[in-house]
Structures are given as structure tokens and as C-alpha cells.
Amino acid sequence: MAIEMYIKPDCPYCQKARDYYNENNVEFVEYDAQNDPQRKQEMLEISGGDLVVPCIVENGEYVQSGWGNPLRG
């Protein structure tokens, strides 16, 4: 499983996603969608324009924006 997360630094929901994946030994790559304009554009294309983070991509497929139940970000 390949997980990519588009995040904003200091986002508590991004940290909860990190914690979840780390606790479950799931490797992931994260991209800074706040400070890297290219990554922000990628995130917007993937999410259909949704600015909510974390933006989660699994095996190349968009999964969700936000974290928790209900999703927040």
C-alpha cells in the first residue's frame, strides 16, 4: 500500500493521520501543501479543488480530505 498525504505544518488533523499510520506501521510520504505551490496544485487537482487537509491518496487514488469521524481538517 502506498500512502501519500498532502498536509499543512502544525495541522492537528494531519498529526492524527500521521499518528494513525505510524501506530499501524503503514509507511507514508507527506507533501507540504501550504508552503510548496506545486504540491498545493497537485492536491487541488487530486481532490477536485478541496483545500481541506490532510488530503489522503492511497495507491494513486484519492481517498479523502480531512481526518476523523466526522472528517475534519
- For residue range 8-39, what is the model confidence (pLDDT) as tens digits? 999 999 999 999 999 999 999 999 999 999 99
Provide the pLDDT confidence category of residue 63 given band limits of 50, 70 and 90: very high
Distances (CA, A) of 50 to 13, 28, 61: 15, 21, 15
For the chain, domains (ranges, CATH) are 3-65 (3.40.30.10)
The three-state DSSP-derived secondary structure of the chain is: CCEEEEECCCCHHHHHHHHHHHHCCCCEEEEECCCCHHHHHHHHHHHCCCCCCCEEEECCEEEEECECCCCEC
Model pTM score: 0.93
pLDDT of amino acid 36: 98
6 neighbors 35 (Cβ within 8 angstroms): no
